Structure 1
Amino acid sequence: MAVTSQNEQYAAMLEEWQEMEDALIGPRAISAGGTIYLPKTSGMIEAESLAASDNSPLTPSQAKQLYDAYKRRAEYPLWVKDSLRTMVGLVSRQEPEIQLPNQMSDLLNEATSDGFSLKQLYLRIVAALLTKGRKPLLAEFDDNGKPYIATYTAETAPNWLTSNVGGRQDLTLVVFSEKRLKEGSGADEFNPEYETVYRVLDLIDNQYRVRLLNDAGSEIEEAEYPGLVGGSQSKPLDFIPVVFAGSTDNNPDVDEIPLQTMAKAALKFYQLSADYYTSMHYTAHPQPWIAMNGDGDMRVTGPMAAWMLPEGGSCGYLEFQGAGIEALRKAMQDQQNAAAESGAKVIDIGGQESGEARKARQADQHSALYSVCITAAEAVEQMLKYVAYWMQINPDEVTFTIQPKFSKEEVDAAMLQVVYNIVMSGLGPSEVLFESLRRSGITDKTDEELASLMTTGGLPLPEGVE
């Protein structure tokens, strides 16, 4: 097996992780994805084929402009980014219980290689679990012997294996891909070049081994067998100090992505919007036509130009009727509502329900966010216990726990923020927000009254929604 080999679960999810990454970056990444996210119409494909033939009235550049214009009119909403910010803000109000022995106290404020505190590390894990469903963590020590927790992305952990170790299913191989600055005297300090190397962690004769390999599988540095800190380090670790934090549990298997439904809705909205705004463009710009015998110069047209037709000539406009525009608008609204319902899980834009039914539904729908909070905290605690054991400290002296308690007011405010962002960006109907406000018990005013208040800036919103 080559060092570049990929676990089958990793290979199956790679495309979806890339889609979520682009969804977080927003319009720039989605637009750069080209036909991956916005396929060409059959007319555009035909035009490009025609332009490539001999004696074509179209040049390849002109044919390409058809798709470029189509793509520029499309609109990708920032639902995923806004929802993630809102959800992480909600989680950040929860205070974890942290207990560390004196020898590990520095980790409280400097837990990662880039100087983030334990709570900031926890929030970064929560954000990764919401958007990728996965966050690999590795316990490490720096050159000064200080412990820290190295973090990787879902995409930079291409391979792992588990085997029976002492009667338990434990990790026996983990491969991380890393970017490393290329060495050489000709390196440009203003435009550095990087190469991909592979950090391979495995168990050999029940000893933890660390190797750094290149693409060909050759060792770049001498293999290390990290031992317990202190003394001669003659006792090596008998486990790989890696945790794969997940959205449902912390075993190495790939978990589901909580915000994927919203990302899919945003992408479908983007595709529909390309057709919608192109149709609107055609409606606003009817195609002129002329019919005449003899010579005539009809190259100039517009509201300030007069057409001089020869005798017997006629002219007019071919207007785009746009019979499907309303259907497109309705389909876009459906995606807006799906995104709002996915992100703002406590808001039901459907029919009425009893208080007990709503309470039960809330408990069920918050299970994803609750699970993410719990598994993220458990992952941090496990890493701290690994560090403690490595430093020959009793792991029972380490605690990092959290009991998520989202009050109805906090949840409604956070989830309403998601809907509010969608509506105020012009990508969702105001009626969705009005109904959400009424269901949260904030107001009982009608749509007409709330619409009037919206124009004057007096819309009743919970504290924290802005």
Structure 2
Amino acid sequence: MAFDPTATHPTYDAFAPSWRLMRDCMAGEDEIKAKGVSYLPMKSGTRAIADVQLRQAAYDGYKQRAEFPELVAPTVRGAVGTILDQPPNVVLPPALEPLRERSTRDGLSLEALHRRICTELMVTGRYGVLPGISAGGEPYLAGYVAEAITNWDTDAEQRPDWLMLNESRPVLDRSTGKWEALDQYRECFVLDGRYGARVWVRTSAGWTATEVVEASTRKRRPLDELPFVFIDTNDLTPDPDDVPLYGLGKLAVRVYRLDADYTFALHMTSEPTPWANGFADPAEAVKNGQAPTTLGSSKLWLLPEGAQAGYLEFSGPGLAAQEKAIQNSLDRAVIFGANLLADTQRTAESGEAIKLRLGNQTSTLKTIALTSAEGLERALRNLAKWMGEDPEGVVVTPNTDFFDHTLSPQEITAVVAGWQAGAYSKQTMFDRFKKGELVPAERTFEEEQELISTEGAGLGNPDLTGGNVGGQ
């Protein structure tokens, strides 16, 4: 049997539906509606319509009236913003310093690459980084989303030693100006203690592979391990982790379906239908203009003796239940981080109360902050080995404190009052101000004291005219 680069790992197949749902939810309403019945099944009454065009028109109207709630994308952006509010501290050896400004071939800085990693972990719970060195000897990092890491295997010690990466993409034919699909996969493996890779491309004759290229360090020593780094929500192992916001994505789809039924019911009940009886042959009466067909103050209705007229109107008691079901689902979305959509009562909370309320959320964010930094660090260390540098010279330290410690004016006054009363030392007061972000984190107590002393000497003793006795 011929080798098939498109074959996928069983775990990949299991996770692919959840990744697809999250991608579509991130893309928003247009993408969700473009998928049609995949997310909004056709109503049974609509399916019963025999005429294909009428059936499709009825479904399109049903779908168009529905609104997909934008829950996932704002939550992801807010979570990533919280994680990276304070960027990680990155220490690099001199040979890797250029990566700070340009770490990938498409021009991402190291900070932007880290942001992409965190975003992907929030969306799919998975990302991959493959270090490389260009033909000109420049180091770089290549990133791969979850869907592009299609197949993998491990050795007897559970270390990854074989990998298939989907690099398919549109390419421009400059002779015609048209974009064409390129089917390409990169196979990476360790064979006999040597890391190598080759590229598979689909042609009219089938799949063809390039020659195997083996990587070696600047000291001409072969790499003995696969440098690719799997970055998951909880760890750096090849097997994917659960998608952090998958529950939120499913809730968004649920609300979309409920809203479709709700707006359909509103559409059907919003306009009462007039009726009139008393005509022997209603169809003939309409044809001859005897039966009224329009409404309005300028339209005179002349009905036969004994005829009646009225409205067919549905009060819609089920609408309240549908509205409540939608609100309940939106309230459940709060659990997954969509706090902006909840009708919460805003009251003053202490720092400890906030920590308790947000404990579960921040634990997820902390895990992703730690894992993303650990994965980036490992990828950079693998690249450092390749470059002949000391891998221990690479350190990526993330921020894991997501709470606002800024002191209010009242708290500042209280801290100073406590020091003046002798409850604690000036050093303790300084440490509290430092934690409360009144003093830069890198400044020492001695440096602050020197600044205070210098400022006092410069100001001198003010005179009554507002000038300074000490002069300039």
Cross-structure match for 1:142 = 134
State the partner residue of 1:14: 16
Q: How far is 1:245 from its partner?
A: 0.8
- State yes or no: 1:171 paired with 2:165: no
User: What residue is the counterpart of 1:193 in the other structure?
Assistant: 180
Q: How far apart are residue 61 of structure 1 and its match?
A: 2.0
Greater mean deviation of Cα atoms: 359-368 or 203-212: 359-368
Q: Which amino acid aligns with 1:382?
A: R
Cα shift readout 1:34-65 (whole Å, capped 9, x = no counterpart) = 11111111100001xx22xxxxxxxx322221
TM-score by length of 2: 0.77
Structure 1 residues 209-245: Cα deviation after superposition (integer angstroms, max 9, x where no partner): 11111358743422211111x25x3x22111111111
Cα displacement string for residues 182-217 of structure 1 (whole angstroms, at most 9, x for unaligned residues): 6978x631x310121111111121211111113587
Aligned residues: 391
CA RMSD for the aligned pairs? 2.7
- Of 20, 32, 35, 1:33 maps to 35
Letter in 2 for 1:200: E
Contact 2:337/2:361 (<8 A) preserved: no
2:115 aligned with 1:123: yes
Name whichever of 23-32 and 287-296 sits farther off.
287-296
Aligned to 1:246: 232
Q: CA 1:146 to 1:106, structure 2 compared with 1: closer, same or farther past 3 Å?
A: same
Answering whether residue 294 of structure 2 is matched by residue 301 of structure 1, we say yes
Structure 2 counterpart of 1:393, from 380, 386, 389: 389
How do residues 417-428 of structure 1 correspond to structure 2 at under 5 angstroms? none
Quickly say closer, same or farther: Cα 1:183–1:355, change in 2 above 3 A.
closer
- Among residues 45, 59, 76, which one is paired with 1:84 in the alignment? 76
TM-score (ref. length: structure 1): 0.78
Amino acid at match of 1:204: L
Distance 1:184 1:358, change over 3 A: closer
Secondary structure of 1:379's counterpart equals helix
Query: Which residue in the other structure is 1:452 paired with?
Result: none
Q: 1:206 to 1:310 in 2, by over 3 A?
A: farther
The percent of aligned pairs where both chains have the same amino acid is: 34
2:269 aligned residue: 283
1:155-206 Cα deviation digits (max 9, x unpaired): 1111111122xxx321111111112556978x631x3101211111111212
Describe the shift of the 1:169–1:149 C-alpha distance in structure 2 as closer, same or farther (beyond 3 A). same
1:286: Cα distance to partner? 2.4
The one-character-per-residue Cα deviations of 1:367-404 (angstroms, maximum 9, x if unpaired) are 11110000000010000000000011110111112131
Residue in structure 1 matched with residue 93 of structure 2 by the alignment: 101
Q: How much does 1:98 deviate?
A: 1.2
Q: Tell whether the 8 Å contact from 2:84 to 2:399 is kept in structure 1 after alignment.
A: no
CA displacement at 1:348 relative to structure 2: 11
Corresponding residue of 2:329:
335
Q: CA deviation at 1:248?
A: 1.1
Is it true that 1:265 corresponds to 2:254 in the alignment? no
Once residues 97 and 84 of structure 1 are traced to their aligned partners in structure 2, the CA distance between those partners, rounded to angstroms, is 22
CA separation of 1:12 and 1:182: change in aligned 2, threshold 3 A? same
Distance (Å, rounded) in 1 between the aligned partners of 2:162 and 2:206: 15
Change (3 A) 1:385 1:217: farther
Q: Compared with structure 1, are the counterparts of its residues 81 and 394 closer, same or farther at alpha carbon in structure 2 (3 Å cutoff)?
A: same
Change (3 A) 1:112 1:302: farther
Given that 1:113 and 1:150 are in contact with CA atoms closer than 8 Å, whether structure 2 keeps it comes out as yes
Closer, same or farther: CA 355–86 of 1 in aligned 2, 3 Å:
closer
Q: Secondary structure of 1:161's partner?
A: strand
Question: 1:224 & 1:137 partners in 2: Cα distance?
Answer: 19
How far apart are the structure 1 equivalents of 2:119 and 2:350? 33
Q: Structure 1 regions of 5+ residues with no counterpart?
A: 52-59, 411-466
| Deviation for aligned residue 1:105 | 0.8
Distance change (3 Å), C-alpha of 1:289 and 1:82: same
Offset at 1:303? 3.6
How big is each residue's C-alpha offset from its partner over 1:85-140, in whole Å with a ceiling of 9 and x where there is no partner?
22222222223121111111101111111111111111110011011100111111
Between stretches 333-342 and 361-370, larger displacement belongs to 361-370
How far does the alpha carbon of each residue in 1:302-356 deviate from its partner, in whole angstroms, 9 at most, with x for none? 4464444445544433212211100111011111111123215799969x99986
How far apart in 2 are the matches of 1:199 and 1:326?
55
Contact 2:199 2:210 in 1 (8 A): yes
Distance 2:315 2:305 in 1: 30
Is the 8 Å Cα contact of residues 345 and 366 (structure 1) preserved in structure 2? no
> Does the CA-based 8 Å contact 1:385-1:398 persist in structure 2?
yes
Give the unaligned 5+ runs of structure 2: 407-472
Change (3 A) 1:123 1:10: same
Amino acid across the alignment from 1:44: T
What's the offset of the Cα at 1:261? 1.8
